[in-house]
Copies of this chain bind each other. A is one copy, B any other.
């Protein structure tokens, strides 16, 4: 592995700036409302230059997803892994995703767009990282089920899907927009709802 040249570093920095802008726009407006013109404008380059780095709008979205998956994996490897109980690790990850969403840094993609879906499943970077994260979380879920901390009636895959879904739960956005909860209050409340349910214990 050679040290990257100065030229390569500049290129990498520019691509980071692009992914930054895409991430912000995806979190703010969503995939359909995000225009490639807006991305170019926010980065401060011409649209045609964007297409020298990424071949399509879908590839831009995939790059943003790859980065958030990397951030999630990094959180799992450090802070979450430091907790002794599997259930607490899962809660920590869920809490982290909600903080990311609150900060306006959670790119959420429409599940229904088929063009986008095809591009994502064909994207090696994206799929590899998605599966790596799923496997890591899957281990913790099974461990938590084994020691009786997670409900045995909910299949492991349903737990996993639910965690992904709560990372983009629109309820948090509504609470933030309402303005009557602090970040900590809102997230604690949703975490409780997710793990302990709406019904009294």
A binding-site residues for B, Cβ under 8 Å: 28-30, 32-33, 87, 90, 110-113, 148-155, 157-159, 161-162, 165, 169-171, 173-175, 178, 189-190, 192-201
Contact = CB atoms under 8 A, between A and B. Distances in A.
A188 B179 CA distance: 34
Contacts of A151: 192, 196-201
A194 B197 contact: yes
A198 B192 contact: no
B171 A158 contact: yes
Contact of A158 (B112, B175, B195): B175
Contacts of A148: 200
12 contacts: A32-B33, A32-B110, A111-B174, A151-B201, A154-B193, A154-B198, A158-B175, A161-B171, A194-B197, A195-B197, A195-B199, A196-B199
Contacts of A110: 30, 32, 110
A116 to B, nearest CB: 10
Contacts of A162: 171, 193, 198
